[in-house]
Chains A and B, each alone.
Chain A
C-alpha cells in the first residue's frame, strides 16, 4: 500500500468505508479466510480442529495490534525508557486468563501440562530476554508486527524458525557441551534406536536431564484434591493473582507513582491517592488494557474450545485426526504432532524451519523433539502454525483498516539485529521449553510456578539486553556524531 493511496484515502473518508484501499484489503483478507474455511470444511468437517487455531490466531492478532501488545516491551521499556505500560497490560492479561483457565480446568476441558522445573528454565528465559531487546518484539509481537508490514519482524520469524530447528537437531561438536552423566541417563531411558538419543545435545539434554525433573502445578505439589479449591484458590489465587498484584504494586511504586503524584499535584499522598494512582496506571493506556482483557478471555476460550473438540472426537492429539484423515506424513513415531490447544508460538515455527530443512535433504526426525514428540507436519496440516499465520493476518486486517499498515524494509542494522536476536530467541525458547507465551503466560496462569522462573530469567536477560543495546547506540552515535548529533 503506497503513501499516495493512504493520502487519497485520508482525504476522502466521506466517500464510504470500502473506497479506502486499506479497508478493501482488510475485507479481502477476511473473505479469503472465511472462504478458505468453508472450502476446507467441505472437504472434511474434522478440519474444524485446525481452523479453530487460525480463527483464534486472528483474534489474537487483532488484539495484539490494537493494544501494541508485545511482551518484549513489557520488560524492555521498563529498563530502556522507564515505561510500565506493557508490563501492566501483560499482568492484566495474566490475571484474567488465570481465572478463565481455572474455570476451564474445573469444567474438565483443560489441555495444559506443567513444565519441568530446573536451571534450564531461567537460562532459557535469560537468553530469550536478551534476544527480544534486539528484535523489537517477542515471538507473538514479531508476528503482529509482520502483519503491519514490518519486514524486519518477518526476518525475526525466519530466524526463530531455523535457529530452533537447527539447535534441536545439532550434534557432533555440540555434544561435548553436555555432561557425561546426562548421556548415561539418556541412554538408560532405552529409547527407540532411530532417535539416537546419545547423539545430539538437545536429545541428551531432554532425555538425560529434563525428563528426570518434575513439573507440577502448585495444587499437585500441595496435594489438594477438591477441583474448585485446587483451581481457584491454590493455582489461580496463590500462583497467579497474588504474585500479579505484588508485581503491579512494585511497578506502581517504582515507575508510576512519582509521575502521577506530580501530575495530580499531591505532595503527601494518602492510601486513597495511591489507589487512584494505581487505577490511573491501569487505564493510562486504554488500548493496552483492552487488549490485555481480550487476550486473557480469548486465550481461555481457545483452551475450552479445543478441549471440547478433543472430547467430541475422542482424541488426545490432532495427530490422531490427521491419521484418520489419511495424512500420516510428518507425524511423530507416537502418531502425534505439536498440538498445545492454547496460545503457543515457538514450537510450530521450529516445525516450519525443520520442514524446510527436510525439503533440502536434512534428516530432522532423528531426535526427540521432532521424531518422538512434535513431528514435522507439512505447513498445510500444521494446526498451531495456522495460529501464527492467523496472528499475522488478524494484525494485517486491523492495521490496514486503521491505516497503519506500511511495508517497512529494515535498515542493515535492524536486519542484523533481527537475525541475531531472533536466533537467540529461538535458542532461548528451546532451552526454556517455550517463549514468553508457552513458558510464562500459559504456565503461571495454569498454576505452574515454573513460568515465574522463566519471567525472572527474561527480566534479567532484558536488563542485560538493554545495557548492551545502549552501549551499541552510544558507540554508534559517537561514530556518527556529525550526522545524528545524539
Chain B
C-alpha cells in the first residue's frame, strides 16, 4: 500500500491514496494539483470518506472544478479539473 501518482495521458493524472486516512488524502491531493497545469485533469482514488469533505471545500476555495464523483464499495473515484 503506497501513494501512487502517475501521468496517464496528455494533461491527465491519477492519484491513488487508498488505505490512507486523514490528512494524507487531502494533503496529497493538494500536492498533486500543485504539480499540474491549469486545465489538467486529476483522477483521484481514495477510500477515506472524511477526506472527501475537505477535498470538496479545498476545490471550492481554490476554484478547481470537481466535476465527477463516484463512490462504490467504500472507494471513491473523483475527477478534478485544475483551474
Give chain A's interface residues, CB within 8 Å of chain B: 1-7, 10, 67-68, 70, 72-73, 76-77, 80-86, 133, 136-137, 141, 145, 148-150, 152-153, 255-256, 259, 262-263, 284-285, 287-288, 399, 403-406, 408-411, 414, 466, 469-470, 473, 480, 483-486
A73 touches B54 (CB 8 A): yes
Verify B23–A77 contact, CB threshold 8 A. Answer: yes
Name the A residues within 8 Å of B50 (CB-CB): 68, 70, 73, 136-137, 141, 145
Q: What are 24 pairs between A and B in contact, CB < 8 Å? A: A3-B72, A3-B75, A5-B73, A70-B50, A73-B22, A73-B23, A80-B26, A137-B50, A150-B21, A259-B60, A262-B63, A399-B49, A405-B74, A408-B21, A411-B2, A411-B19, A469-B23, A469-B27, A473-B27, A473-B28, A483-B2, A484-B2, A484-B3, A486-B5
CA distance A403 to B47 in the complex (A): 12
Give chain A residues whose Cβ lies under 8 Å from the Cβ of B56. 285
**A10 to nearest B CB, angstroms?**
6
Known: A145-B50, A284-B60. A485 touches B21 (CB 8 A): no
Q: Does B61 contact A (CB under 8 A)?
A: yes
Chain A CB within 10 A, most for which of B24, B50, B60: B50
Query: Which residues on A sit within 8 Å (CB–CB) of B57?
Result: 77, 83-85, 284-285
Of all A-B residue pairs in the complex, the 4 with the closest CB atoms, nearest first, are: A406-B74, A3-B73, A6-B73, A136-B21
Please measure, in the bound complex, the distance between the C-alpha atom of A469 and the C-alpha atom of B24, giving whole angstroms: 9
Residue of A nearest to B76 (CB): A404
A10–B28 Cα distance when bound, in Å, is 29
Contact yes or no, A259 B74, CB < 8 A = no
Q: How far is the CA of A284 from the CA of B73 in the complex (A)?
A: 26
Q: Is the CB of B6 within 8 A of A485?
A: yes
Chain B 1-21, CB-CB to A under 8 Å as 1, else 0, gives: 111111000000000000111
Chain A hits for B31, CB < 8 A? 486
* Cβ 8 A contact of A10, one of B1, B22, B72: B72
B68 on the interface (CB 8 Å rule)? no
How far is it, in angstroms, between the C-alpha of A414 and the C-alpha of B50 when the chains are bound? Answer: 16
Which of these, B3, B60, B71, contacts A404 with CB under 8 Å?
A: B71
> Are A81 and B58 interface neighbours, CB within 8 A?
yes
Number of interface residues of B (CB under 8 A): 38
A406 to B24 CA separation, bound complex (whole angstroms): 18
Q: Judge whether A484 and B73 touch: CB under 8 Å.
A: no
Nearest CB in chain B to that of A149: its residue: B74
Residue B66 CB within 8 A of the other chain: no
- Contact partner, A83, options B26, B71, B75, Cβ 8 Å: B26
User: Shortest Cβ distance from A261 into chain B, in angstroms?
Assistant: 11
Contact A152 B72 (CB under 8 A): no
Complex alpha-carbon distance, A368 and B2, angstroms: 45
In the complex the two chains form, what is the Cα distance from A3 to B6 in whole Å? 25
Any chain A CB within 8 A of the CB of B69?
Answer: no
